[in-house]
Structures are given as C-alpha cells and as structure tokens.
Amino acid sequence: MKRTESDALKQVIHLASALKAPRVAECAERLAETAREQHWSHEDYLAAVLEREVAARNASGAELRIRAAGLPARKSLEDFDFTLQSGLRGPMAALALGSYLAEARNVVLLGPPGTGKTHLATGLAIAAAHQGHRVLFASASEWVNRLSEAHRHGDLARELARLARYGLLVIDEVGYLPFEQDAANLFFQLVSSRYERASLILTSNLAFSAWGAVFRDQVVAAAMIDRIVHHAEVLTLKGASYRLRGREKDSLPSVALTAQNSES
C-alpha cells in the first residue's frame, strides 16, 4: 500500500470511530483492495462500505426486537415443513414479505392443536422484526392479564397508546381458556385500538362461531370478529398434530385409557 493510501485509511478508521460505525473501519481496507482489483468507481466503493454498516445495524436492531418480543420459542418460517400444510406455502410466503403490516391487515390462523399455528405466528413475528417492526407476542390470557392490570390502575388508555407503537401484536391461543365478561370488553378495546391502524396476528383452535362462548358475550365477540376479519388473511391449518406425528394412534394415552376402561 502506498504511503498516502495508508494515511487515508488511518483517517477513515479514525472517522468511522467518531461516527460510531465500526463496520466501516473493519471493511474499509479489505474492500479498497477489492475495489482496486476490480476497478470499482469511488461511488461503488463507498456504497459497498456503507452497505456493510447498514446491514449490521439492521441485523442487530432485528435481534433486539426479536429478544424483546417475548416469543415462546425461536421458530422461523424456514423451519416449517410445508409439505404437511401445502396450501399455506403460497399465502405464508406472501405474508413473510410483510406488506400486510404496512396496510395494517391482520392474520388469523385457525386449526386444531399441534398443527403449527404458534410456529407460523412466531415465524411471521421474526420476519416482521427483521423488517424493522416492533413486535410483542403473548397468549390471549396473558394479554387479558396485562390489560386488566392496566385497567385496574386506571392506565388502560395509556397502555393501548403504548401498544400502538408496536407494528405487530400476536395474540396466541384464543379459545384455550374462557374469559370473564370484563376480559371480553378489554379484548374488544385492544382489537378496536388496532383496527385499520396496526396489525394483529391471532391464533385459535376454535372456529369464529365458537368465540361467542369463549368471550361469554355473543355481541362483543361478533363486533370483535367483524373488526378483526374486515382486513385479514384467515388461514386454516389442517391435519393431525405435528407433536404426535409418527406415533401409532392406539399408543396415545387417552386412547389406551379408553380401551382399558372398556375392557373392565
């Protein structure tokens, strides 16, 4: 390297540190060599160096958002085996691009236990975090607890405003536990506060027709479903539980128990 080049490089490293851009310092020399070999323009070189810094910053931002999201496990869409849910491959690939988030559309994943609803919701949450959205994941009962708590402290409006800063909220397992009457109203307020403003992903093992019973209030449930599905992709998962795949049906405890009972 010529004397002036190494001086310039030292200055680049110094300036990168002043800008708190460590990746610029790391790659400036290596990329300069490549640039000379491959006759890049000055603009191409500068773009290549800055791109490294931006990519690294985006990645660490995504990592922070993923860690703050409260995901139950780190399951990505790439980990999902679509041969078992082949009808979902296309719709999920489209959702993974994230335009539903910009349009404040919702995603509803319905289907029996173990078919991959939580996995797909988590995968979409990770994809959203990579696209720069803040994400929060919790089960329906955790959401109700959180909102009840805020309500008790007279803080519900503030809590909903705080949640509005998240591009995506995931509400997992609607229907596993029935709610109290108050809870239905709190839930309704959450759904209303997001309506046409920001996205929700909901998962449920129950068809919409059964939500009235879960919320113990047909009118509130109907009003809520109306707002959820007005702009939504509703995807239905089918088939047997992935958790129990490969097991013989009659080796399942519940089946064995029934067989024993009928023998006695």
Helix (H, G, I), strand (E, B) or coil at 92: helix
The entry of ligand ADP, Mg ion, none near residue 243 (CB within 5 to 8 angstroms by kind) is: ligand ADP
Contacts with ligand ADP, 59-98, as mask; x by CB under 6 A: ----------------x----xx--xx-------------
Q: Taking CB under 5 A as the rule, does residue 122 contact Mg ion?
A: no
Q: Which of 243, 252, 255, 257 binds ligand ADP (CB under 6 A)?
A: 243
CB of 173 to ligand ADP, least distance (A): 7
CB of 204 to ligand ADP, least distance (A): 10
Q: Which of 101, 107, 116, 137 binds ligand ADP (CB under 6 A)?
A: 116
DSSP of 107-168: EEEE-STTSSHHHHHHHHHHHHHHTT--EEEEEHHHHHHHHHHHHHTT-HHHHHHHHTT-SE
Residue whose structure tokens are 């460590």: 22
Q: Which candidate, 240, 235, 210, places its Cα nearest to that of 225?
A: 210
Q: Which of 16, 100, 119, 220 binds ligand ADP (CB under 6 A)?
A: 119
| Distance separating alpha carbons of residues 198 and 59, to the nearest angstrom | 23
User: Angle at which helices 117-130 and 89-96 pack, to 10 degrees?
Assistant: 30
Q: Taking CB under 5 A as the rule, does residue 139 contact Mg ion?
A: no
| Binding footprint of ligand ADP on the chain (CB under 6 A) | 75, 80-81, 84-85, 111, 113-119, 242-243
